Amino acid sequence: MDKQAEQRTITRDGQLLLGKMAKEQVETVWDRLAAQQPQCGYCEMGLSCRICAMGPCRIDPFGEGPQKGVCGADADIIVARNLGRMIAGGAAAHSDHGRDLVEVLAAVAAGEAPGYQITDEEKLRRLAAEYGLETDGKDTLVLAGELAAALQEEYGTRKGYLTMTGRAPEKRRQLWQAQGISPRGIDRETSEMMHRTHMGVDNGWQSILLHGLRNALSDGWGGSMIATEVSDILFGTPRPGPNTVNIGVLKEDQVNIIVHGHNPVVSEMLVQACEDPELVALAREKGAAGINLAGLCCTGNELLMRHGIPVAGNHLMTELVIGTGAVEMMIVDYQCIMPALGALAPCYHTRMISTSDKARFPGMVHREFHPDNAAELARELVREAVENFANRGETYIPVQAVPSVGGFSVEAILDALGGTPKPLIDAIVAGKIRGAVGIVGCNNPKIKHDYGHVTLTKKLIEQDYLVVDTGCAAVANAKAGFKVAEAIRYAGPGLREVCGSLGIPPVLHMGSCVDNVRILVLAAALANALQVDISDLPLAGAAPEWYSEKAVSIGAYFVASGVYTVLGPLPPIAGSMNVVKLLTEGLNEVVGACFAVEPDPLKAAELIMGHIEGKRRALGLTARD
Ligand code: SF4
Ligand code: MSK
């Protein structure tokens, strides 16, 4: 086995494909990371600023060089501004994704989106009622149009509050109000962050960071929550079902089409097109046994959650999948799609297609999807992928797919519990389940691929902590075999007993990055049932391999919602001890939770278990030392 590949990833498919691509002299994300060494120390510490044209400026961390930028900003201000802008970037990405779904909902209501429909009418009516709309006897499409308009309103500011924050416990909402961090509008908070961090506006590092929490809350209880709820209305609320994961999901004898990105608006149309009997017959005519659709990253998670569509890999597998030589077409929407991907196309026969008006990539052919052309364009693309099967050369699919179960929406979890969170609460009170941990986020080539997710998850379930996961963490844990009912063998005795009796795995796949809001809703349901705040619960979050701005926003809304959150990679804040102290200690006084940073997943597990046992003790429950 290639030693370098073993250092880069714990996954067998990843190691084998890295070895193959190294022999073929095809560059990957790890090679580019190596070529970037040493990376800029100022930037790593958050101490460089290029916000205005008097700069760029940097602060000397050793105190010998400049301690102020040209405008006079010191290390605290520069670090806080940089972090604030990262949160704004992440919140904008999630929230714009949500807006795209609302636009599809509006187009469905107007009869301008052939191929799309209202799949979960019950959820449509429930959400419409939450928004104060009259639902009785109202035509479904009329109600869909009214709801779309009400959701679009959340992005502006006229109302001055976000309706779905009403799902948070009363105590939490009062705390947000008291701290001045209740989100007032989705676009408003992101826009205000960009304003505050312009030169000469907010130069209080604390007030910038507090606004960062408000900005993140506008994502978690706003933009992302809209994305998840509207996706459920349009495409169905997930229910548990079987699927398979890793590179082995590609089929030697079939036309393989990969979808990559985040927004199910495009990938859902491809699900339908791949099942079109005419196109399946065409594939057979061309010598293939059928058409195989598989996902990557979070658009993959969206399809896995709702249809059991297989997932070929997570973030760091996106280049390696093409290296199999078995992918006829990769169709991308947006977010987490490395611009390097298009350059791989000439090395293999894969056709690379971009689809979003806001996301172009070098080396990809742009075929733009809109609600009115999506169904037809999806069929065209599948036809072209089928035609490309004849161009396939040698293939390399070196592993068998791993079985997994996904689809644990909050509704599905409550159903599994008999319609109420009480059995879960009883198991926590009895100490059979010590608490619950949300493990979320990306891969980052600075951390051995999947090592952080899998090691942390394994340690926690062994010790009777229930794990729920999303995003690339969820794919890592599925590949590790933690998501079948038999995986209770990895769990401690209490967790094994509870999951065994419910017939569920000890690690529950709750969806994509935007679906982190399902974790918020579940936490709020538990807190409301116990009449406490979220910060009182024996819960924690972790992002062991995060890389993206979206992950920074997610971490910030977890903490602002009262969930202690442990990050693997250190964000660029080390240049300001004031910022570090506020984020890792001071926030406890503000929102009852804080961040920790611990790249070693075993040590992170210790931190999380210590935190949860402390919360148990405070609730008067049995606690381990
Ligand atoms: Fe330099 Fe200040 Fe401009 Fe930043 S905002 S680049 S610190 S002058
Ligand atoms: S895809 S944001 S690498 S989880 Fe959502 Fe994965 Fe992180 Fe992208």
Compute, in angstroms, the gap from residue 609 CA to the centroid of ligand 1. Answer: 42
**CB distance 27 to 15 below 8 Å:** no
Pairing type for strands 465-469 and 565-567 reads: unpaired
Residue nearest to atom 3 of ligand 1 (CA): 52
**CB distance 281 to 349 below 8 Å:** no
List per-block mean pLDDT (blocks of 10 residues) for the chain, which spans 625 residues.
92 98 96 98 98 98 96 98 98 98 98 96 98 97 98 90 97 98 98 98 98 98 98 98 98 98 96 97 98 98 98 98 98 98 92 98 97 96 98 97 98 92 95 98 98 98 98 98 98 97 96 98 96 98 98 98 98 98 98 98 98 98 91
Q: Is the CB of 560 under 6 A from ligand 2?
A: no
Query: Helix (H, G, I), strand (E, B), or coil: what is residue 574?
Result: coil
CA distance 58 to 411: 49
Compute, in angstroms, the gap from residue 67 CA to the centroid of ligand 2. Answer: 36
Give the CATH fold of the 75-235 domain: Substrate Binding Domain Of Dnak; Chain:A; Domain 2 (1.20.1270)
Give the CATH fold of the 247-391 domain: Rossmann fold (3.40.50)
What pLDDT does residue 504 have?
95
Q: Locate the ligand 1 atom nearest the alpha carbon of residue 200 and give its number.
A: 5
What pLDDT does residue 191 have?
98
SS (H, E, C) 469-532: ECHHHHHHHHHCCCCCHHHHHHCCHHHHHHHHHHCCCCEEECCCCCCHHHHHHHHHHHHHHHCC
Compute, in angstroms, the gap from residue 206 CA to the centroid of ligand 2. Answer: 29
What pLDDT does residue 175 have?
98
Tokens matching residue 108 = 């469905």
Using CB distances shorter than 6 Å, the residues near ligand 1 are 49-52, 54-57, 69-71, 73, 78, 199
What pLDDT does residue 1 have?
63
CA distance 308 to 405: 8
Compute, in angstroms, the gap from residue 69 CA to the centroid of ligand 1. Answer: 5
Q: Is the dihedral of CA 343, 265, 89, 456 positive or negative?
A: negative
Tokens matching residue 541 = 């979050």
CA distance 156 to 182: 15
Tokens matching residue 194 = 């960009």
Compute, in angstroms, the gap from residue 69 CA to the centroid of ligand 2. Answer: 34
What pLDDT does residue 425 have?
96
- 405-618 placed in CATH 3.40.50.2030: yes
> How do the residues of the chain divide into helix, strand and coil, expressed in percent and rounded to 5?
55, 10, 35
What pLDDT does residue 625 have?
83
| CA angle 405–409–413, rounded 5-degree value | 80
The domain segmentation of the chain, as residue ranges, is 3-58, 75-235, 247-391, 405-618
pTM for this entry: 0.97
CA distance 378 to 271: 9
**What is the maximal distance between C-alpha atoms in the chain?**
72
What pLDDT does residue 159 have?
86
Are domains 75-235 and 405-618 of this chain identical in fold?
no
Mutate to test the pocket of ligand 1, among 42, 43, 48, 49 (most ligand atoms within 8 A of CB): 49
Q: Is the CB of 513 under 6 A from ligand 2?
A: yes
